[in-house]
Chain A
């Protein structure tokens, strides 16, 4: 049965404004769903029902005065546990921050909260957002609502699973190499990674600063546009945030795509792509053509080097960013007597970091170390230039590019944990957009033979969010998928 928490943010907001439902009732539906499913999914690390109830009650009082409401007001929202929340534990899925209670809010949450969004909890994720399966969480994996024996993707897997299951109406995630889009694809929801710098990173606990991007997980493209409209815009607290005032990205969302120039990325249908995934994405391209888009083949000739460049640049930045976890000012300090402060730091980092984080810190440390810097980090930055040039050339001919989001659908928990290279290949189609800073979105485009969701990735040029969302919205409306994970039918 469809409950309030199964509706989209746009539907709920309309009902709230019309007085057909209260914020307390919507929240009650979301909290009941969490009770029902989260023992199995493990999508949340921290729940905040008490704070949520207080917030919803306040909103209902405010609403009864007839004051206009933001479209995010009263909507049950989940935040990936790498976004700081004042007074609410923020762990990054890591033992080293297990008890960390930030004294400040991330700008993303400040903006949503200021507009009346209701926080239901902080979601599970790969440790420090490093992973593609959520198996790197220090607090145990998230399970995919479509098949509990499978991964939800990562690193924003808890956010994706929460939204797919109705535990939250929408959620924020972060995307450094695909961490919003890939779990969205594997869980059958919409995942938007905006242009680098469009949403402030203030309070996003850093992994790889030149790539980290706050993104959204929603059950409709319209909801993604609504959230971006509240989240976007200059923040003086993030020097890399782009100039410009917030914009309304729902404006013109349904104007259609007649005449839109769509490029199908030829390199994204090669080896390693599951036949059902390739077939579903090809069928989606036909639908776009049916809607009046002009479809042609596109090329990103250096895409094959993107994964290598990413696995040098991201770990290098990570090794520098994570140097702050030294057991001095915050975070877990290794127990026991330490000969001196340096010994304490070695022990703290050895015990506090999980294996993937250690792997990436070590990789980055090596890539930046004397004698190797030019061959690895220096070369990777040059490849980054070539990938940006590929996109610039492609967007002279096309408005949007199309590819699968992920080469595969959700894989079984445990299948790739012992093989880092196999795991890294999950992000092969999502990484290039991070290296170039361009916006991209994953939209559900079908199910494979096993009944698992497949995602279509659309990519646009820098600050091309409007055309990106318009194309995604037209496709979504044309396909008319009603995605309900089997977990909810039982």
Chain B
């Protein structure tokens, strides 16, 4: 059975605007992919530990020393919009006036 997912909820979590057509297609395709993917539930028993990285590494530290950083103009060069030395975005909070 294809998995029935709430496509509007997932799209909201993923912050992606989808057309109605995309939603219909994705709902069907994701349902089918998840049906196949659910196979992972068949084998791995509770006593099998999960692996997040195949080659385990302990925490990797470095000295906390200041280093030269990217100049402001370089950092802003790819900005879609800027104002002075800042990234400019549409309003974030409601303004009370």
Contact = CB atoms under 8 A, between A and B. Distances in A.
Contacts of A466: none
Interface stretch (A67-75, A122-130, A159-167, A235-243): A235-243
Contacts of B14: 319, 349, 361-362, 365
B1 interface: no
Interface string A335-368: 0001111111111011101010011011101110
24 contacts: A103-B75, A210-B54, A307-B36, A308-B39, A308-B40, A311-B37, A312-B37, A330-B80, A340-B91, A341-B89, A341-B90, A342-B15, A346-B17, A349-B15, A362-B10, A365-B14, A382-B40, A382-B44, A382-B48, A382-B51, A385-B44, A386-B43, A388-B54, A437-B55
Nearest to A236: B62
Contacts of A332: 80
B85 to A, nearest CB: 13
Interface stretch (A273-281, A372-380, A407-415, A476-484): A372-380
Interface of B: 5, 7, 10-11, 13-18, 22, 25-26, 29-30, 32-34, 36-45, 48-55, 57, 60, 62, 70, 74-75, 77-81, 87, 89-92
- Interface residues of A toward B: which range? 35 or more
Contacts of B79: 328-330
A307 B92 CA distance: 41
Give me the 4 closest cross-chain CB pairs, A-B, nearest first: A437-B54, A350-B17, A382-B44, A381-B50
Contacts of B37: 308, 311-312, 367, 376, 380
Given A103-B77, A362-B26, 17 more contacts: A103-B70, A311-B37, A312-B40, A323-B15, A328-B89, A341-B90, A342-B15, A349-B17, A362-B7, A365-B13, A366-B10, A376-B34, A376-B40, A382-B49, A386-B44, A437-B53, A462-B55
Contacts of A114: none
Contacts of B16: 346, 349-350, 353, 358, 361-362
B32 A421 contact: yes
A379 B40 contact: yes
A434 to B, nearest CB: 8
A100 B89 CA distance: 18
A276 B20 CA distance: 43
Contacts of A340: 90-92
B49 A210 contact: no
B40 A210 contact: no
Contacts, number: 174
Nearest to A322: B14
B90 A344 contact: yes
Contacts of A312: 37, 40
Contacts of A311: 33, 36-37
A151 B54 CA distance: 31
Given A327-B80, A381-B52, A359 B89 contact: no
A375 B26 CA distance: 20
Contacts of A323: 15
Given A308-B38, A350-B16, A331 B43 contact: no
Contacts of A333: 80-81
A267 to B, nearest CB: 14
A336 B90 CA distance: 11
Contacts of A341: 89-92
A197 B53 CA distance: 10
Contact of B30 (A327, A346, A362): A362
B54 A196 contact: yes
A112 interface: no
Contacts of B36: 307-308, 311, 421
B26 A330 contact: no
A235 to B, nearest CB: 11
A383 interface: yes
A198 to B, nearest CB: 10
A384 interface: yes
Contacts of B77: 101, 103
A363 B90 contact: no
Given A311-B36, A327-B80, A329-B78, A359 B26 contact: yes
A386 B48 contact: yes
A311 B40 CA distance: 10
